[in-house]
Amino acid sequence: MMTPKIRDTSLALLIATGVTCAMPAAAQELYAGKTVNIIVGSDVAGGYDTYARLFSRHLGDHLPGKPNTVVQNMPGAGSARAAGFIYASAPKDGMTIALLQPGAIVGPLVDKATKATYDATKFIYLASADSGTRVCISLPNSHIKAFKQAQTERVIVGAAGNGASSRDYGYLHKNTSGVKFEIVSGYKGTADILLAMERSEIDVICGLDWSSAKAQRPGLVRNKTLNVLVQMGIDKNAELDAWGVPEIMSFTQGADNRAIVDLIVAQQAFGRPFVMAPGNPDTSVKQMRAAFAAAMISAPLLADAEKIGLDITPATGERVQEIVQNMYKTPERIVELASKAIRE
C-alpha cells in the first residue's frame, strides 16, 4: 500500500501555519499525568476498533503533557449508544472523545427516534481519519460473485443492529437497486459477520469500508480472491476500478433513488469521525484538533497504519463539521425517502 497523502487542504494549512507548535504551560498541566479515553461505538476487532487503537498509540505524542490514552468499546445501535453516552453522560473535561460510525451522525437525520438521545449537529468534530469507499463483498466460498447476480438470485446478507452501516446499506441496496437481499441482522460487528460468511451461514456483507476489508482479510485482497461486488463512494476508488468493481449508481435507477443514495453515501466523507461532546473547554477542542491533524501526517502513525493495512485519508474537524451541517439542510422529502430506504 502506498503511503497515504494529505488530501484535505485545510489540514495541510493547519500544519503549515504551526498550530501544533508549542503549547502554553497551562495546557501542559491539563494533560500531564492524565488519561484520554477513546470510546469506540463498535465491537472489538472490527474496523473502527482497529482505527481507535491505532490512534491510541500515537495521539498522546501530539498533546501537551503526553497523556496516556485508553480505548473503551461501547457497541450498540450502530454507535448510537456511544454517541448518546458521550453527548449526555461523559465528563466535559476534555479527556473523553469518541470514534463513531458515520451512521450515528446521519441517524438523527433519517431516523427521528434518535433525536431524543443526542443532536449530531452539536457534536464537536475533531477529525476524520478516513473518507474512503464502502463495498459489498463475498468470500471465495460464496456462490455470489457479482452484484448483478443479486438482481435475480436470493442473497443472504449479514448485518449488525439498527443504525449499523452493514444493516443500513443492505436495505439501501435492496430498496434502490432491486437486489434480492434477505437481511439477517443482530451480529455484534463486522468480525462476527465475516466469520459467519466463512461458515457459509450468509453470503454477503455490505456497507463495509474498503480499508476495513483490507485490514481484516489482507490475504484475500493480496491474492485477489475476495469478491468485491460493488463500490460506493464520493469519488471512484482507483484500486477498485483496477479490479473492475462497478459503482452502485450503475445499478440505481430513477432520480429519487439516486438522490437517496447520494445522501446516504455523503456520510463517507467522514468515514472515521472522532468527536467530543458540546460543553468541553475550548482549549481542549483546539488542542485535540491540532493533535489529530499532526498525528494523521506523522511518520510513526502512517508507518503503523501501513503495517496493518489501514488507509489514512484525513479531514479536519472543521471540514467534517461543515459537511454535517450541510447534510442536515437536505430537503425533507429526500430525507423521508432515505429514511424508508434504509429500513425493512
Q: pLDDT tens, position by position, for the chain (344 residues)?
A: 333 444 443 454 344 334 444 445 566 678 999 999 999 999 998 889 999 999 999 999 999 999 999 999 999 988 999 999 999 999 999 999 999 999 899 989 988 766 668 999 999 999 999 987 999 999 999 999 999 999 999 999 999 988 789 999 999 999 999 999 999 999 988 999 999 999 999 999 999 999 889 989 999 999 999 999 999 998 889 999 999 999 999 999 899 999 999 999 999 999 999 999 999 999 999 999 999 999 999 999 999 999 988 889 999 999 999 999 999 999 999 999 999 999 88
Contact 229, 147 (CB under 8 A): yes
What's the chain's Rg over C-alpha atoms? 19
79: left (phi > 0), else alpha (psi -120 to 50), else beta? left
The whole-angstrom separation of Cα 27 and Cα 62 is: 12
Contact 270, 315 (CB under 8 A): yes
Contact 82, 100 (CB under 8 A): yes
138 three-class SS: strand
Strand 273-276 versus strand 181-184 pairing type: unpaired
Contact 36, 66 (CB under 8 A): no
Find all residues with CB under 8 Å of 277, minimum gap 6, and list them.
Answer: 86, 87, 88, 90, 92, 96, 123, 124
The whole-angstrom separation of Cα 209 and Cα 167 is: 13
Please give the grid coordinates belonging to residue 209.
Answer: 469500508
CA atoms within 13 A of residue 135's CA, in its CB half-sphere: 26
Contact 137, 205 (CB under 8 A): yes
Strand 124-128 versus strand 134-138 pairing type: unpaired
- CATH topology assigned to domain 9-131+269-331: D-Maltodextrin-Binding Protein; domain 2 (3.40.190)
Neighbours of 26 (CB within 10 A): 9
Residue written as cell 439516486? 258
In the chain, what are the domain boundaries?
9-131+269-331, 134-266
Residue 4: per-residue pLDDT: 42
Residue 14: per-residue pLDDT: 46
What DSSP state is assigned to residue 329? Answer: T
127 three-class SS: strand
For 134-266, the fitting CATH number among 3.40.50.1370, 3.90.1150.10, 3.40.50.2300, 3.40.190.10 is 3.40.190.10
Residue in 90, 85, 202, 93 with CA at minimum distance from that of residue 137: 202
pTM attached to this predicted model: 0.78
Please give the grid coordinates belonging to residue 152.
Answer: 435475480
Residue in 149, 151, 167 with CA at minimum distance from that of residue 159: 167
Residue 6: per-residue pLDDT: 40
Find all residues with CB under 8 Å of 310, minimum gap 6, and list them.
Answer: 50, 51, 54, 130, 211, 214, 215
